[in-house]
Structure 1
Amino acid sequence: MTVTPAPRPEARPAVRLGIAFVPTMAPESLRSLATAAEAAGLDDLWVWEDCFKQSGVASATAALAWTARIRVGLGLMPAPLRSTAGTAMELATVARMFPGRFVPAVGHGVQEWMEQAGVRVKSPLTLLREHADALRRLLAGEEVTTSGRYVTLDHVRLDWPAPQVPLVLGGVGPRSLALAGELGDGVILANALTPDDVRAAAETAGGAAQAAGRPAPGVYATLIAATGDDAQQRLDAELPLWGAEPGRGIGAAGDARAIADGVLRLAAAGASAVAVQPTADEPDLAGFVELLGREVRPLLDQA
């Protein structure tokens, strides 16, 4: 009798673990955080670009220069603030200087901030579609001529393109998520979501990618976390700052096991990478980073 061996379960790819450098942190503190994150063995460092706080491109470039291994993500650049050609030049330059370590993301921006800056448009999604399409083609080395509602280029080609750089799009609403799935290599999500929120977003983006004949995009999620005896109180105080209510399963509070479980819940919901975001009142940022590398990372690897 021939015995057919049971199929081997497919190995679950390990979720990437990173830390978020949020704009509540002073720009001059980035260097110590970036070097600590690399020393701790974290996979990613994500910098932000919130109006009117810090430049994402400047922060990402500096973090890459201060480190040698860690991947640096930029989440995200509001399309209305920059010309498409200028954005392509910036991204290609950084990507070529630090090959394989730079993940840029673009979005349509917070509309109130775009209004303040005098660049708000009537159709943010149309702008993002035109911007992302032209940006991808420019990074690939194409000569681009286009005349859209918002993006106009006349025989523009980069001398130094970066065809390997991934292009991530940001989104919250279903139409933004669908656009990210259709055009992006990944989708970066808001920082205060439940696992169910992440699952729904991943399904929306993945469905749009499938309909467009593209691979499922990577999903980049954030986990707000706090440690220590007063961790839950600090997390509950932090969540409203990001538009979230305590008690809905957002974030993680407690020891390394609690943070690892929070990351794993987001991974099970579809996140391929999770950036842990410390609370604004984190008293020991260096110790927090060390905890992620020394204790949380091994727990993820064992899952």
Structure 2
Amino acid sequence: MTALGVVFRPQLPPERLRGVARAADEAGLEELWLWEDCFLESGVASAAAALAWTERLRVGIGLLPVPLRNVALTAMEAATLHRMFPERFALGVGHGVQSWMGQVGARAESPVTLLREYLEALRALLRGEKVTTGGRYVRLDGVALDWPPPTPPAVLAGAAGPRTLRLTGEAADGTILDASASLDAVRRARRAVDEGRAAAGRTGRHELVVYLHTATGPDASERLAAELGRWGGTPAPDLGVAGDAEAVAEAVRRLAEAGADTVVLQPTADEPDIEGFVRFAAGEVRPLVP
């Protein structure tokens, strides 16, 4: 079954999160995703609050920028959330936006090398291992979590280019694609991820999460076109959907056929009713998606 979610964009003020998370939980939406975009809102603080305010909702961070965060700290925070809210927290990490990383003095010369070292150390720490490593970027000396999760949680990673996509297949448990991914890009991503998994001899489940630009309501087409313009895209069906529940569900189904396991509806920046958007996704779109 294809999982369905909505992203709470950090361009909304943090105090709006409580109402949106509760609306999602009450409406029966499966997943609420968060971003840690600089310099808006903390992904970890927002996830902890959303999890505490809800009962069944899966809350994902897609994603934490690894140059900004020491891997031991990320492991501690992820382990804490997984123990407090079992099976309800999804962690995604990634390169981050390089210009933002440069602003804080954390830009890596080789983002792919950093992400590989980070994923390997993070997953080992969450397995409860004692880790000593002296990589180019990640350096740990006998570090182990005192409270690792009872079972190792999945660690997802954001990716776009073929090198990073193969890396996520090799070293992550799932891959996150942003809303700029067309249907062909999703298919290519699934192939690249599978190549990485095969090269590493990995056979377990690998979740592919894809964001989808989505607008609904009387001015949906105009808002979607404006949103795609802000992202540098064009109002093509592959890059977003505007319309009623059936139109959105059809776009979700196409992404699922292309290889997506989870589709996260991404409302426009000027979405007038984010709580209503969440209820629309859960009550009208979800029943139409297998």
**By the TM > 0.5 criterion, same fold?**
yes
Cα distance in 1 between the residues matched to 2:229 and 2:13: 21
CA shift at 1:241, angstroms?
Answer: 2.1
Matched, 1:257 2:224: no
CA shift at 1:284, angstroms?
Answer: 2.0
Cα distance in 2 between the residues matched to 1:261 and 1:117: 41
For these two proteins, the number of residue pairs brought into alignment is 288
Amino acid at match of 2:201: G
Cα distance in 2 between the residues matched to 1:193 and 1:150: 29
Percent of aligned positions that are identical = 56
CA shift at 1:28, angstroms?
Answer: 0.9
Partner of 1:50: 37
Amino acid at match of 1:88: A
Deviations 1:113-162 (A, max 9, x none): 11111011111111111111011111100011111111111111110012
The partner residue of 1:72 within 34, 55, 59 is 59
Cα distance in 1 between the residues matched to 2:54 and 2:75: 23
Deviations 1:159-205 (A, max 9, x none): 00124311001111111111111111100111222111111111111
CA shift at 1:248, angstroms?
Answer: 5.6
The partner residue of 2:228 within 235, 239, 247 is 239
Amino acid at match of 1:237: A
Amino acid at match of 1:144: V
Partner of 1:4: none
CA shift at 1:242, angstroms?
Answer: 2.4
Matched, 1:223 2:231: no
Q: Which moved more, 1:220-229 or 1:207-216?
A: 207-216
> TM-score if structure 2 supplies the norm length?
0.96
Q: Decide whether the 8 Å contact of 1:191 with 1:242 is kept in 2.
A: no
Q: Decide whether the 8 Å contact of 2:10 with 2:37 is kept in 1.
A: yes
Cα distance in 1 between the residues matched to 2:261 and 2:232: 24
Deviations 1:16-47 (A, max 9, x none): 01100112211111111111111111111101
Cα distance in 1 between the residues matched to 2:167 and 2:52: 32
Cα distance in 2 between the residues matched to 1:273 and 1:79: 23
Partner of 2:27: 40
Cα distance in 2 between the residues matched to 1:243 and 1:280: 14
Partner of 2:100: 113
Amino acid at match of 1:50: D
Amino acid at match of 1:125: V
Partner of 1:178: 166
Q: Secondary structure at the match of 2:289?
A: helix
The gaps in structure 2 that reach 5 residues or longer are: none
Amino acid at match of 1:287: G
Deviations 1:73-123 (A, max 9, x none): 101111111111111111111111101101101111111111111011111
For the aligned residue pairs, the C-alpha RMSD in angstroms reads 1.1
Matched, 1:202 2:202: no
Cα distance in 2 between the residues matched to 1:61 and 1:28: 14
Amino acid at match of 1:59: S
Partner of 1:127: 114
Cα distance in 2 between the residues matched to 1:212 and 1:113: 32
CA shift at 1:249, angstroms?
Answer: 2.4
Cα distance in 2 between the residues matched to 1:271 and 1:264: 9
> TM-score if structure 1 supplies the norm length?
0.92
The gaps in structure 1 that reach 5 residues or longer are: 1-13
State how 1:264-303 maps to structure 2 within 5 Å: 264-301=253-290
Cα distance in 1 between the residues matched to 2:273 and 2:92: 29
Cα distance in 1 between the residues matched to 2:235 and 2:281: 23
